[in-house]
Amino acid sequence: MPAGLSWPEAAALGLLALALLVTLCRHLWALRWSLSRDRASALPLPEGSMGWPFFGETLHWLLQGPRFHSSRRERYGNVFKTHLLGRPVVRVTGAENIRKILLGEHTLVSSQWPQSTQILLGSHTLLSSTGDLHRQRRKILARVFSRAALESYLPRIQKVVSWELRGWCTEPGSIAVYSSAKTLTFRIAARILLGLRLEEKQFKDLAKTFEQLVENLFSLPLNIPFSGLRKGIKARDMLHKFMEKAIQEKLQRNSPEDHSDALDFIMNSAKEHGKEFTMQELKESAIELIFAAFFTTASASTSLILLLLKHPSVIEKIRQELISHDCHCTSDISLEKLSRLRYLDCVIKEVLRVLPPVSGGYRTALQTFELDGYQIPKGWSVMYSIRDTHETAAVYQSPPGSFDPDRFGAGRPEAAGRFHYIPFGGGARSCIGKELAQAILKLLAIELVSTARWELATPGYPTMQTVPIVHPVDDGLQLYFHLLQPSQGHEA
């Protein structure tokens, strides 16, 4: 203790010194990123804050949820800089800005996911591949989502949807919708896409392990005990072990009576393109398919149920459309019949506009380029916002915050645009499984309005969390489901 100072004075001096040190570190951190601008460009870096050393604004992002981006967009505009998950990031909103990013794939930008996501999903995935490798993998995987493949999936998806929904209706208590939707979509992914033959206990264990993987996809890249990444790696290794065993059994079985599934399509398509997938590639592709079909579709299914509950007039319009097309159930549904249900299509589009499952996407700048008057330096991450773009697009005639399926009807300008509505992304990286996701949502909607009614089991509606995907906080969407009497589903 310095001579002449009391303990309180010494403590206060120490705190002051610590505060000055922290402030200095933060200024040096901000200066470090200011100096990283491309000096060959006269354009300035976007406005914004880089947060704290190493952590950046990651903790703010995780804690504040959608308010993090909206508050900074209000302060800095549609293009601003921040630092998330260990990387400098430019956050982007707006159709014209996003058009440049999505159409600039392989030239201006390249797909970029957080390091934790790449570690956990692997290097042999469509998500991780770039350039020619990405184009080749996309061609191979296109067979999984071809029209012929989708037609083969539909009857089996319908049976799973019908079986799960009747389980919800016969449950004596309330249903936690998000958990139940995850069970539904995981069952579709595991049994129909991957053709896995699972006992119910195996199914539940696998779903729990996969959920642990997904929950840690967006974690700090720290492989240390008790970290999110370490938990994700443990889940990934367990899934790979299970998948390898299941794939080997499938290859040995190779029964002609088996339905074709996604793995069959992948292996056959790869051979047609002169490639033989290794076991590691098959395992990672299997996990990626579940990842693509599981959480995002569960999120959209939950949003569909929630928004229909809030808007009973929409339910009635769907019922009337089903009656007019003599389509009262999903047992004999086809892609052609689904395509005739125009209002239902508008409803699904509006659900995905109001509550897009994924809030945005990541890219890395391959070269320095201009965006909205700012430079985006080579090597920086670009995070484009789907949700914010949907909320702020000037093209929408009715308020963007309202639920209005008719905005996608014929003759409305909302239905004609391209980059103001991007629930599935766009360009070379657009979601390859979007037709399957939409088909699942339509089958669920038809089954719901034809056979069930549902009501809140809580005093009010839950808050929706948006990171890493849209879902009710603490699975707060608790509903009672009831089977309709035969006449109830077809009332005028």
The string of pLDDT tens digits covering residues 236-260 is 999 999 989 888 887 777 655 555 7
**332 pLDDT band (50/70/90 cuts)?**
confident
What whole-number distance in Å separates Cα of residue 193 and Cα of residue 211? 18
What whole-number distance in Å separates Cα of residue 222 and Cα of residue 426? 32
pLDDT for position 126:
87
| Average pLDDT value for residue range 189-218 | 88
**492 pLDDT band (50/70/90 cuts)?**
very low
Best mean pLDDT range from 33-37, 121-125, 171-175, 241-245: 171-175
- In the three-class reduction of DSSP (H, G, I as helix; E, B as strand; rest coil), residue 359 is classed as coil
pLDDT for position 375:
96
Q: Which residue has the higher pLDDT, 327 or 46?
A: 46
| Average pLDDT value for residue range 278-298 | 88
Q: What angle do CA 329, 450, 432 make, to 5 degrees?
A: 65
In order, the DSSP letters of 47-63 are PB---BTTTBTHHHHHH
**491 pLDDT band (50/70/90 cuts)?**
very low
**328 pLDDT band (50/70/90 cuts)?**
low
| Average pLDDT value for residue range 342-359 | 95
6 domain-assigned: no
pLDDT surpasses 60 at 487: no
67 domain-assigned: no
* Sequence-separated (6 or more) residues with CB below 8 Å from residue 202: none
What whole-number distance in Å separates Cα of residue 230 and Cα of residue 226? 6
Q: 431: annotated binding-site residue?
A: yes
Please, what's the largest Cα pairwise distance for the chain? Answer: 93
The tokens for 106 are 């392989």
381 domain-assigned: yes
**454 pLDDT band (50/70/90 cuts)?**
very high
19 domain-assigned: no
Best mean pLDDT range from 215-224, 415-424, 428-437: 428-437
**488 pLDDT band (50/70/90 cuts)?**
low
What whole-number distance in Å separates Cα of residue 17 and Cα of residue 9? 12
In this structure, are residues 424 and 432 in contact, taking their beta carbons and an 8 Å threshold? no
pLDDT for position 289:
85
Q: What angle do CA 229, 234, 236 make, to 5 degrees?
A: 90
286 domain-assigned: yes
Nearest one of 408, 430, 355 to 99, comparing CA atoms: 430
Domain holding 138, by residue range, is: 131-490
Mean pLDDT of all residues belonging to the chain: 87
262 domain-assigned: yes
pLDDT for position 258:
55
pLDDT digit string, tens, across residues 366-402: 999 999 999 999 999 999 999 889 988 888 877 888 9
**304 pLDDT band (50/70/90 cuts)?**
very high
- In the chain, the number of structural domains is 1
Dihedral, 378, 380, 386, 389 alpha carbons, nearest 10: -70
pLDDT for position 416:
60
Q: If you search the block for the tokens 């296109």, which residue do you land on?
A: 142
| Average pLDDT value for residue range 411-439 | 86
Q: Which residue has the higher pLDDT, 178 or 193?
A: 178
**pTM score, two decimals?**
0.88
Altogether, the residues listed in the chain come to a count of: 492
pLDDT for position 232:
95
31 domain-assigned: no
The tokens for 291 are 């990842």
**490 pLDDT band (50/70/90 cuts)?**
very low
Residue 480 forms beta bridges with which residues? 455
In this structure, are residues 175 and 481 in contact, taking their beta carbons and an 8 Å threshold? yes
Q: Which residue has the higher pLDDT, 383 or 29?
A: 383
Tell me the one-letter amino acid at 470.
V
pLDDT above 90 covers a percentage of the chain that reads 49
pLDDT for position 486:
67
SS (H, E, C) 227-238: CHHHHHHHHHHH
| CATH number assigned to the domain comprising residue 391 | 1.10.630.10
The pairing of beta strand 381-385 with beta strand 87-92: parallel
The pairing of beta strand 109-111 with beta strand 360-365: antiparallel
35 domain-assigned: no
Integer-rounded Cα Rg, in Å, for the chain is: 25
What whole-number distance in Å separates Cα of residue 93 and Cα of residue 108? 17
**330 pLDDT band (50/70/90 cuts)?**
low
Report the chain's terminal Cα–Cα distance, integer Å. 85
Tell me the one-letter amino acid at 51.
G
Of 122-131, 157-166, 349-358, 432-441, where does mean pLDDT reach its minimum? 122-131
Instruction: Please tell me what DSSP assigns to residue 289.
Output: H
What residue ranges in 136-243 does DSSP mark as E strands?
175-176
| Average pLDDT value for residue range 91-119 | 90
Best mean pLDDT range from 144-153, 163-172, 262-271: 163-172
pLDDT for position 455:
97
